Structure 1
Amino acid sequence: MSNNLIKDIPVGERKLLRKTFWRSFTLYSSVSPAKQGASGFCYSLMPFINKFYKDPKDKKDALVRNMSYFNTTIPMSTFIMGLTASMEKENSMREDFDTTSINAVKSSLMGPMAGIGDSIFWGVIRVIAAGVAVSMGRTGNVLAPIVFLFLFNIPSIAVKYYGTFLGYSLGAKYIEKLYSSGLINILTKAASIVGLIMVGGMTSQMVTFKTTIQLKMGGASVLNFQGMLDQIFIGIIPLGITLLCFYLLQKKKVSINILLIGVIVLGILISALGIA
């Protein structure tokens, strides 16, 4: 990104973006299964929230909004932070701004940004840096680990820094156009769909259940319950558990801590009983 793009941002907002960049290093310093890096994301956005929202209720709503689930590759996170900051700024100035679009856009970008970031930083740069460092280490060079850290972290931090400004600039540039053209509703809908697809994919990968129950006759299995469940709907038990937790969380206002403890206890019980 050219320096002209940074210079186009007002000086005061450039200072806020630098604060966001430095705060972004705390992104995963406090992680929970339900929120992942939400607290770090919200902390990084607080300079903008404190700047643009003077009404306590508006500020509270913004803080709650930015405490939603967030998880992506660290070097790509600041691009989403910058874009979110520009949307929060727009929301503070427009009464007709659709606040649901903020989290919809954020959620839709987490997956693609993670895919790009993981491929580049974990799949390429880390391997190259490790290869160079291992070659140096084999010759007894004590600088090998330092070289690895430099080779991996310099491009990572550079992408984080400029990504903050790029996300903010793109957001400020195109959000006004989206509103004036009426495309913001389409963007919000599309972003929500992508976000739901990402959540569905995560559910299928992270929530698993395989029962070991079988009916046997003469030492041979005549009915495999897991096979029968898969014939009905692959992943029907994990999906059912996920939807039940969502229902209890959203409709019955059950604490997330109670749900976590309940799932852990349930897992221990079905394991102890030999069900799964």
Structure 2
Amino acid sequence: MQSTNDIKNTDQKTLDHKTLTKSFYLWFWGALTCFSQEHMQTFGYMASMLPILKKLYPDHDDQVEAIHAYTAFFNTNPMLGTVIVGITASMEEARADGQDIDGETINDMRAGLMGPLAGIGDSLIDGTLIPILLGIALGMSSGGSPIGAIFYIVAWVLIAYFGQRFLYFRGYTLGSRAVNILVGAQGAAIRRAIGIVGAMVVGGVLASWVNVTTSLKLRGADGKVFLNLQSKLDSIYPGLLTVLITFFCWWLMSKKHVSAIWTMVILVVISFVGVLVGFFNPGLSY
């Protein structure tokens, strides 16, 4: 078996657009192929590199040797991490042309980038972009309209496809400079702008869809209501209970690091107790 540095590099080799496109599609559709806690995205990554290696190394033994660089653990944000696959294709092309790049260099690059891009991608995609799309879709679904669901599906598919395709080929073209755009000053400005838009959308969804009110009323000996708590709260600060519940959820998840699932469980318990003591009225009739 040849060592990594002994892979034959007789002619200059260049990846064509067809090979790169096939590699991209294998990542796009199979990034989470054979996903497990032990390997995460390793096998999806290896699958996306197969067309690259077959194109660059016609000899089967060279292909087997080259693929060893991609057997190490890999896990990142599937969308933003696409740029790493593109960079890898560029590095593999340089290695096949005889440049001073080996499997360890490629692995070091992957290991160094997958963590930062996972953090940026999870906050940017899962924490910002998806809530923005869902907020818009909810607004379009008022009255039971299916337009909101259709909008979300179409918008997400288009953004995921064209966004990942752009990142893949940008990573191949720019190499490590593509990462500098994502994690540098330009990337920080873009993330901040998207975050501001996301906060506006989430705030609009909160004002339109969340409405927490109390049914608590105090009556006198004659049975007449002398204190309607909701009316008093509305005269002081309309929507006060909604704001308090929102900040309570934010405090649980942001400051106490309570998961979203447990936060929902806590809200269910609060609602149940509130109904029992008469603070909330679900409006149910039997």
> Is 1:23 the counterpart of 2:26 in the alignment?
yes
Which residue number corresponds to residue 234 of structure 1? none
Structure 1 distance, partners of 2:99, 2:15, is 23
Quickly say closer, same or farther: Cα 1:137–1:123, change in 2 above 3 A: same
More RCO (CA 8 Å, sep 6+): 1
Quickly say closer, same or farther: Cα 1:65–1:127, change in 2 above 3 A: same
Q: Which amino acid aligns with 1:34?
A: E
Question: 1:137-148 residue pairs with structure 2 within 5 A?
Answer: 137-148=141-152
Gaps of 5+ in 2: 1-12, 179-286
> Is 1:36 the counterpart of 2:40 in the alignment?
yes
Q: Percent identity?
A: 30
**Per-residue Cα deviation, 1:15-36 (whole angstroms, up to 9, x for no partner):** 1111111111111021122211
Cα distance, 1:170 vs structure 2: 1.6
Pairs aligned (count): 165
Of 136, 140, 149, the residue aligned with 1:136 is: 140
Structure 1 distance, partners of 2:124, 2:154, is 16
> Is 1:73 the counterpart of 2:77 in the alignment?
yes
Which residue number corresponds to residue 155 of structure 2? 151
Which residue number corresponds to residue 49 of structure 1? 53
**Per-residue Cα deviation, 1:74-105 (whole angstroms, up to 9, x for no partner):** 11132111111111111112164332110100
Q: Which amino acid aligns with 1:171?
A: G
> Is 1:83 the counterpart of 2:96 in the alignment?
no
Which residue number corresponds to residue 94 of structure 1? 98
Secondary structure of 1:33's match? coil
Which has the greater radius of gyration? 2
Q: Which amino acid aligns with 1:131?
A: G
**Per-residue Cα deviation, 1:182-221 (whole angstroms, up to 9, x for no partner):** xxxxxxxxxxxxxxxxxxxxxxxxxxxxxxxxxxxxxxxx
Cα distance, 1:165 vs structure 2: 0.8
What root-mean-square deviation, in Å, do the aligned CA atoms of Structure 1 and Structure 2 show? Answer: 2.3
Question: 1:106-185 residue pairs with structure 2 within 5 A?
Answer: 106-171=110-175
The question of whether the paired residues in 2 share the 8 Å contact of 1:86 and 1:172 is answered with no
Quickly say closer, same or farther: Cα 1:172–1:54, change in 2 above 3 A: farther
Quick check: which one's helix share is greater?
1
TM-score (norm 1): 0.55
Secondary structure of 2:16's match? helix
TM-score (norm 2): 0.53
Structure 2 distance, partners of 1:12, 1:99, is 18
